[in-house]
Amino acid sequence: MSDNVPQNRLTMEMLLPAGVTPDDFLVLVSGVLAFLVVFLVGNSLIERDTLTARVKALHERRSQLKSSLTAPRRRTRGKSSSIGVVKAVVMKFKLLQQTQTDKVQSLLLNAGWRSKDAIYIYVFFQLVTPIGLFVLAFLVVNFDFSQLPWGGAKWKWLVILGMAYIGAKLPVILAVNARNKRYETILKGLPDGLDLMMICAEAGLSLSASLDRVSRELNLAYPELAEELGLTSIELGFLPDRKKALMNLAERVNMQEIRGISSVLIQTEKYGTPISQALRVLSAEFRTQRMLRAEQKAARLPAIMTVPMIVFILPTLFVVIISPAVIKLLATN
């Protein structure tokens, strides 16, 4: 360390344990990041069997409904675990306000996270993530406390506050991204699911049996839609009000298409109209919408391909066309 450096400046050497140099720390961080990249890439290429997990979730939901209808509720003491620590932190700091509870629960439910502890984990990470990235940014930019208020450069504060802001928004971004991906998958499988439901209804199956059959048939092709239909079938069999089960489907998947299906099924249950006829109309409508979305994507393709063509294809084309003339010109000289 040079002699002109102030003695009260906080450096990385002071923060690291004894015997660990900044180079060792950077090598360790690089190794961890390389391992995470390899793990995430390999994890995305592995094909998992999610059928067992979905079947387990359906059985748990069936057991919950059965116990709530046939047995009195009893308070049980849960075992101490990491979830208990997370709950304790959230309750101690009063991070979960009543005004945002319904909104957060709706977001997590739409994203497919139905666990009772999901909201506590979500709010806990909303507290921890900005703090962790804030501290990490302090270490990375080598903030100098001897040169307050800027710490040596104004851009350091921009980096630190930017990382804290990203940490505060990261849980919301992940939840919204998971919800949107789930909605897209469910939307793709709706026409096929309605066709199968129509066939089951015309074969004489009840609504609950039709949903259960379609759920088993769509397990591999559209697992998210199959899970929702399976849960709805279970609730139709256990809940005293069948309308409530269909309304729960619209709450779990807050999409215009699912709300329309729920409304149609509620009306057919109420007035006794044929389910197959309504499902046939809905299936044709959703197939038309899916074709229109595909045509819109195809219409946007030329505009999207303009920039790659200008950047990558045109320079190569110019080189191929002009190179013979340039070579002949150099040869004549």
Q: How far is CA 166 from CA 33, 36, 132, 148, 159, in A?
A: 19, 20, 11, 24, 10
Dump pLDDT digits (tens) for 54-65.
666 666 666 666
Tally of domains within the chain:
1
CA within 13 Å, CB half, 92: 8
Q: Is residue 75 part of a domain?
A: no
In terms of Cα–Cα distance, which of 214, 242, 238, 235 is closest to 226? 214
Task: State both tokens at 297.
Answer: 């994507």
Q: Which is it for the CA torsion 248, 113, 256, 182, positive or negative?
A: negative
Can you give the C-alpha Rg of the chain in angstroms?
A: 29
Q: Is residue 242 part of a domain?
A: yes
Q: Which residues contact 17 (CB under 8 A, 6 or more apart)?
A: none
Res 73: pLDDT: 43
Q: Is residue 49 part of a domain?
A: no
Q: Is residue 236 part of a domain?
A: yes
Helices (H), the chain: 12-15, 22-45, 51-70, 82-92, 98-110, 118-141, 154-202, 207-217, 223-238, 242-252, 256-271, 275-308, 314-332
Reduced to 3 states (helix: H, G, I; strand: E, B; else coil), residue 145 is: helix
pTM check: above 0.75: no
Low pLDDT (below 50) residues in the chain: 1-3, 5-6, 69-80
Q: Is residue 332 part of a domain?
A: no
Q: Is residue 217 part of a domain?
A: yes
Dump pLDDT digits (tens) for 269-320.
888 888 888 888 888 888 888 889 889 988 988 888 888 888 888 888 888 8
Res 54: pLDDT: 61
Res 10: pLDDT: 56
Is residue 282 within 8 Å of residue 260, measured between CB atoms?
A: yes
Residue ranges making up the domain that contains 250: 185-291
Is residue 247 within 8 Å of residue 267, measured between CB atoms?
A: no
Please return the burial class of 6, using the count of CB atoms within 10 Å of its CB with bins 0-12, 13-18 and 19+: exposed
Q: Is residue 272 part of a domain?
A: yes
Mean pLDDT of the chain: 80
Q: Is residue 214 part of a domain?
A: yes
Distance in angstroms (rounded) separating the CA atoms of residues 176 and 153: 35
CB neighbours of residue 260 within 10 Å = 14
Res 77: pLDDT: 45
